[in-house]
Amino acid sequence: MALRTAEVTSGEVQTVVAARRLRHARRVFIGVGRPSTAAILARMVHNPELVLVYESGTIGAKPFHIPLSIGDGELAETADAIVSVPEMFNYWIGPGRIDVAFLGAAQIDRYANLNSTVIGEYPHPKTRLPGAGGAPEIASSCGEVVVIAPHSKRTFVEKLDFVSTVGHGHGPGCREHLGFRGAGPTAVITDLGVLEPHPESKQLVLTCVHEGVEVEKVRDETGWELEVVSDLQVTEPPTGEELAALRELVSR
Partner 1 sequence: MADLVSLREGVAELVSDGDSVALEGFTHLIPFAAGHEVLRQGRRELELIRMTPDVLYDQMIGMGAARRLVFSYGGNPGVGSLHRFRDAIEHGWPRPLELEEHSHAGMANRYAAGAADLPFAVMRGYLGTDLVAYTTVAPITCPFTGEQLVAVPALRPDVAIVHAQEADRQGNVQLWGIPGVQKEAVLGAHRSLITVERIVDELEPRPGGIVIPGWVIDAVAEAPGGSRPSYSLGITDRDNDFYREWDRVSRERETFLEWMSRHVLSEEVAWH
Active site residues: 55
The residue among 47 and 141 lying less far from partner 1, judged by its C-beta, is: 141
Of residues 177-196, those binding partner 1 (CB under 8 A): 178-180
Of residues 11-50, those binding partner 1 (CB under 8 A): 32-33
By rule CB under 8 A, what string of x and - marks binding of each residue 43-82 to partner 1? ------------xxxx--------xxxxxxx-xxx----x
140 forms part of the interface with partner 1 (CB under 8 A): yes
Which residue stretch of 6-14, 119-127, 148-156, 226-234 sits at the interface with partner 1 (rule: CB under 8 A)?
Answer: 119-127
236 forms part of the interface with partner 1 (CB under 8 A): no
Burial of 131 (0-12, 13-18, 19+ CB in 10 A): exposed
User: According to CB under 8 A, which one of 133, 150, 223, 237 is a site residue for partner 1?
Assistant: 133
The residue among 116 and 207 lying less far from partner 1, judged by its C-beta, is: 116
> Min. distance of Cβ 105 from partner 1 in angstroms?
13
d(CA 21, CA 148): 12
What is the contact surface with partner 1 in residues (CB under 8 A)?
Answer: 32-33, 55-58, 67-73, 75-77, 82-86, 88-90, 93-94, 117, 122, 125-128, 130-137, 140-141, 162-166, 169, 174, 178-180
